[in-house]
Amino acid sequence: MTPFLVALGLSAPAQPPLPQPVPFPPQPVPVAPPAVTLEVFSRVFAPLPGKHEVWFVHPCTGQVVKVCFALPPGRLRKWETGKDWVEFRFDKGEVRLDFRKNGRVDVDYDD
């Protein structure tokens, strides 16, 4: 039995253990900003004078877009929302947001 044990010990050189894979650190998952549809926007937005930054779900493309606009000082006379536009009418000017089919959003100021 000894020759078998000796042969077993000499037949294969000892191999170092394989390196363990290094786990990758967790990657941050991009989080979409909270976005509103025009319908929700028309119910929850308070049209106060000043600068505003709103994340919309674009009604033509379904993509999330950031729209920055400024409302003029004065009293709000009328505020309307359509299928692809929003319009604010103040004593001292008007602001219109137009959502284009190509994904753009135009902000027009009319003093």
pLDDT for 9? 53
- E strands present in the chain: 50-57, 64-71, 76-81, 85-90, 93-99, 105-110
Q: Whole-model pTM?
A: 0.70
Alpha-carbon dihedral sign for residues 33, 48, 50, 88 = positive
107 within 8 A of 99, measured Cβ to Cβ: no
Which is nearest to 76 in space by CA: 92, 61, 62?
92
88 within 8 A of 76, measured Cβ to Cβ: yes
Mean pLDDT per segment of 10 residues, for the chain of length 111 residues? 52 73 79 87 94 96 96 94 96 96 96 74
Residue 87, token pair as written in the block:
């319009």
Taking only the tens place, the pLDDT of each residue in 70-84 is 999 999 999 999 999
